[in-house]
């Protein structure tokens, strides 16, 4: 499969994995392994980022995976920027998954504050991967601000509803010059495959893996789905049609 | 005028619905008339969304026959929204002085017992022990002791506690918005305040005098806390004072009101159940059964998918072990409910008797045995700018 390139760094896997909601760090580590992922995102609120022995951090092999800190819980740009700086100071990692979600229930991203935070962080040298609603104009503005990707949501985070924002994501993909990573709401491997089939560069999955009965197997299923979807996209999928069509009903006679 | 229409206050909402006690008989009659088929209908709808009429069906006597079905839905909903995790916290009692006369409370000012207030240093000593047990989430608790547990006291304490704790919240007397704002700035990010009972007449009976006798002031307290940007807003009724079914309906309305109006704050529910305290006569209360406590938790979960649900050590171990699978998202462990209790220096009187005396480590093991992860840290002091 072709490589995913984010901010000049190459990745073989197009599946990013989140670390929340797992029953234990051991189960999480198994799922990460089976997913084949190379990018693992961690909520700064959940870990003690300054402590190398933190249970969750210790379970993530930093030689194998890029640790992507996220600002989950931030209600505004100031908080997100502060958390990002703290993470960089403690770990030296200058990548950040930018999440600004003022509403604690649906955790929908705030476009105004996200853009504001992205502008500050890019200027400070961060590689910024912003979580956004599926808003094509915002995606372009973030790209202009210098973010490394855009990460539009498929449906509200943790909802497992699948690609509800498909029409808008198709526009984002069509217009983007940076990788489009579909984030949030993908509840099944088929949802992930669908996102990849329409040309997403990658997807991020957490809840669907973490709350499955068998997390490692579900992670593996997502790995396969993401690969299948990517291959299908590259293969040039045939357009769906409302009607069945015979091979050449109108012009068949010309061959005679 | 338009603003008033868009944001009716909670007092008006409760009065109009008859949920401040004035419609008690009508609601009770409606609850009794609910048929099993109506409950079935409610359970067939998409779960996780609040409508008063739906909550009504779920807290009805008829729904008592559907608890297993409700539990299955609640379990899956909680799993999806919160994952396989339970947050752990510890309470730190600062003072058992109180100016109120609440009939049911161990800190009641009429009770004769040696009162204790912790100095900042003493509080930090207790906090040190709590931190060593693994906790990063701390709840500061106090009687209504405004002259000693002042805003300045709390600000000073919180600023020092931030070194050890990633999340600090308070369960103390009602404050003004500007006072809450000072606490928030010092790193306190949550406020829990129970209405005790939403029934005005019952409230007046149990809170005969002192500042707490003012029902409306208490009812508006969380508006002030949320206006000061507090992230976590904890509500609840002290179960055992009035009919729990009606309290549940009032809690549902209060939660929806707070969620709509203060949309950046997360509302959580607690289920404090009246339990024996010193000098308190049990006979004068309408105590709630385990079965009904479970029903209340499930009914609220089925209406509020994303609300935090908090369980204290008032409940006994066997029940707590079950409740972690039924919608609870956050629980305390190893609690001492008297000031200085962790340092073991005081033989002070607690606010209530702790029924689950297991250590934090034992509680964590119990949670793991259920296939869940005990989460000690789910916040970071970096969120607050000091």
Longest alpha-carbon distance in chain B: 59
Reported as a single tens digit per residue, the pLDDT across A127-167 is 999 999 999 999 999 999 999 999 999 998 878 899 999 99
Nearest to A103 among B79, B263, B371 (CB): B263
Task: Find, among A203, A229, A218, A225, the residue nearest to A34 by Cα.
Answer: A218
3 state DSSP class of B28: helix
**Chain B residue nearest residue A161, CA to CA:** B80
Q: Which residues of B touch A78 (CB under 8 A)?
A: 385
**pLDDT of amino acid B135:** 93
Q: Are B265 and B233 in contact (CB under 8 A)?
A: yes
Instruction: State residue A189 phi and psi, 5-degree precision.
Output: -55, -35
Q: Which residues of A touch B264 (CB under 8 A)?
A: 75, 102-104
3 state DSSP class of A18: strand
Q: Do A44 and B382 touch (CB under 8 A)?
A: yes
Spatial separation of the C-alpha atoms in residues B123 and B112, rounded to whole Å: 23
B266 to chain A, any CB pair closer than 8 A? The answer is yes
Spatial separation of the C-alpha atoms in residues B229 and B168, rounded to whole Å: 14
Structural domains present in chain A:
4-255 (3.20.20.70)
Q: Which residues of B touch A83 (CB under 8 A)?
A: 380, 382-383
Q: What's the whole-model pTM score?
A: 0.84
**pLDDT of amino acid A57:** 81
Query: What are the distances in angstroms from CA A194 to CA A169, B123, B288?
Result: 12, 56, 50
ipTM above 0.85, yes or no: no
B41 to chain A, any CB pair closer than 8 A? The answer is no
- Four-residue CA torsion sign, B32, B34, B36, B40: negative
A211 to chain B, any CB pair closer than 8 A? The answer is yes
Q: What is the DSSP letter of A151?
A: E
Task: Find, among A126, A125, A121, A198, the residue nearest to A162 by Cα.
Answer: A198
Which of A34, A97, A116, A141 is labelled catalytic? A97
Known catalytic residue at A140: no
Nearest to B84 among A21, A74, A159 (CB): A21
**pLDDT of amino acid B1:** 43
Reported as a single tens digit per residue, the pLDDT across A161-218 is 999 999 999 999 988 999 999 999 999 999 999 999 999 999 999 999 999 989 999 9
Average pLDDT over residues A99-108: 90
Spatial separation of the C-alpha atoms in residues B192 and B270, rounded to whole Å: 9
3 state DSSP class of A224: helix
Q: Do A82 and B264 touch (CB under 8 A)?
A: no
B2-383 folds as TIM Barrel (3.20.20)
Q: Do A82 and B306 touch (CB under 8 A)?
A: no
Show Cβ contacts of residue A146 under 8 Å, excluding neighbours closer than 6 positions.
Answer: A118, A122, A128
**pLDDT of amino acid B2:** 46
Give me the average pLDDT of each 10-residue run along chain B (386 residues). 63 94 95 94 90 95 95 92 92 89 80 87 94 94 92 96 92 96 95 96 91 94 96 95 95 95 94 70 76 95 95 89 92 90 72 80 93 88 75
Q: Which residues of A touch B375 (CB under 8 A)?
A: 46
Q: Are B19 and B243 in contact (CB under 8 A)?
A: no
Spatial separation of the C-alpha atoms in residues A129 and A113, rounded to whole Å: 14
Reported as a single tens digit per residue, the pLDDT across A1-41 is 799 999 999 999 999 999 988 888 889 999 999 999 999 99
**pLDDT of amino acid B16:** 93
Task: Find, among B272, B282, B320, B305, the residue nearest to B171 by Cα.
Answer: B272
Minimum mean pLDDT range among A72-76, A242-246, B48-52: A242-246
């Amino acid at each position: 499969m072709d490589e995913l390139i984010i901010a000049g760094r190459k990745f073989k896997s197009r599946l990013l994995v989140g670390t929340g909601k797992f029953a234990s760090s051991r189960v999480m580590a198994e799922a990460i392994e089976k997913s084949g992922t190379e990018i693992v995102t961690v909520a700064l609120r959940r870990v003690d980022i300054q402590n190398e022995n933190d249970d969750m951090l210790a379970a993530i092999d930093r030689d194998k995976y890029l640790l992507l800190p996220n600002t989950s819980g931030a209600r505004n740009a100031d908080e997100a920027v502060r958390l990002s700086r703290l993470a960089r100071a403690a770990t030296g990692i200058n990548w950040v998954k930018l999440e600004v979600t003022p509403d604690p229930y649906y955790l929908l991203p705030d476009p105004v504050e996200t853009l504001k935070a992205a502008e500050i962080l890019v200027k400070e040298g961060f590689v910024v991967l912003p979580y956004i609603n599926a808003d094509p104009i915002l995606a372009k503005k973030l790209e202009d601000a210098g973010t490394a990707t855009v990460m539009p949501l498929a449906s509200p985070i943790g909802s497992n509803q699948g690609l509800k924002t498909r029409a808008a994501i198709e526009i984002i993909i069509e217009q983007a010059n940076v990788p489009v990573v579909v984030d949030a709401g993908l509840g099944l491997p088929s949802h992930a495959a669908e996102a990849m089939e329409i040309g997403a560069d990658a997807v991020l999955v957490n809840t669907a893996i973490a709350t499955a009965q068998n997390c490692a197997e579900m992670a593996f299923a997502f790995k396969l789905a993401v690969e299948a979807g990517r291959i299908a996209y590259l293969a040039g999928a045939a357009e769906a049609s409302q009607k069945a069509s015979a091979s050449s009903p109108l012009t068949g006679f010309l061959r005679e | 005028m338009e603003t008033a229409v868009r944001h009716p206050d909670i007092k008006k909402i409760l009065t109009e619905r008859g949920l401040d006690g004035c419609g008690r008989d009508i609601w009770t009659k409606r609850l009794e008339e609910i048929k099993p088929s109506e409950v079935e209908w409610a359970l067939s709808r998409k779960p996780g969304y609040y409508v008063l009429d739906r909550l009504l069906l779920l807290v009805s006597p008829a729904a008592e026959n559907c608890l297993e079905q409700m539990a299955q839905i609640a379990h899956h909903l909680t799993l999806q929204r919160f994952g396989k995790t339970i947050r752990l916290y510890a309470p730190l009692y600062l003072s058992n002085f109180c100016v109120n006369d609440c009939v049911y409370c161990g800190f009641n000012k009429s009770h004769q017992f040696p009162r204790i207030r912790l100095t900042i240093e003493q509080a930090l000593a207790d906090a040190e022990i709590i931190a060593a047990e693994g906790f990063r989430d701390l709840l500061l608790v106090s009687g209504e002791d405004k002259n000693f547990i002042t805003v300045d006291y709390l600000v000073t304490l919180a600023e020092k506690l931030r070194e050890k704790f990633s999340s600090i919240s308070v369960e103390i007397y009602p404050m003004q918005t500007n006072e809450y704002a000072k606490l928030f700035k010092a790193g306190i990010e949550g406020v829990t305040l129970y209405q005790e009972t939403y029934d005005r007449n019952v409230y007046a009976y149990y809170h005969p005098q002192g500042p707490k006798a003012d029902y409306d002031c208490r009812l508006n307290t969380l508006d002030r806390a949320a206006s000061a940007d507090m992230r976590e807003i904890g509500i609840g009724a002290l179960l055992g004072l009035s009919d729990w079914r009606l309290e549940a309906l009032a809690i549902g309305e209060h939660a929806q009101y707070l969620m709509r109006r203060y949309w950046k704050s997360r509302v959580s529910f607690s289920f404090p159940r009246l339990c024996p305290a010193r000098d308190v006569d049990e006979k004068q209360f309408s105590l709630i059964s385990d079965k009904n406590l479970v029903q209340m938790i499930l009914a609220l979960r089925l209406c509020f998918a994303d609300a935090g649900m908090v369980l204290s050590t008032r409940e006994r171990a066997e029940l707590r072990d079950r409740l972690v699978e039924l919608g609870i998202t956050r629980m305390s462990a190893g609690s001492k409910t008297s000031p200085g209790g962790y340092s073991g220096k005081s033989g002070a009187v607690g606010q209530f008797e702790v029924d689950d005396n297991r250590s934090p480590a034992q509680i964590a093991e119990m949670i793991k045995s259920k296939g869940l992860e005990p989460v000690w840290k789910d916040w970071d002091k970096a969120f607050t700018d000091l």
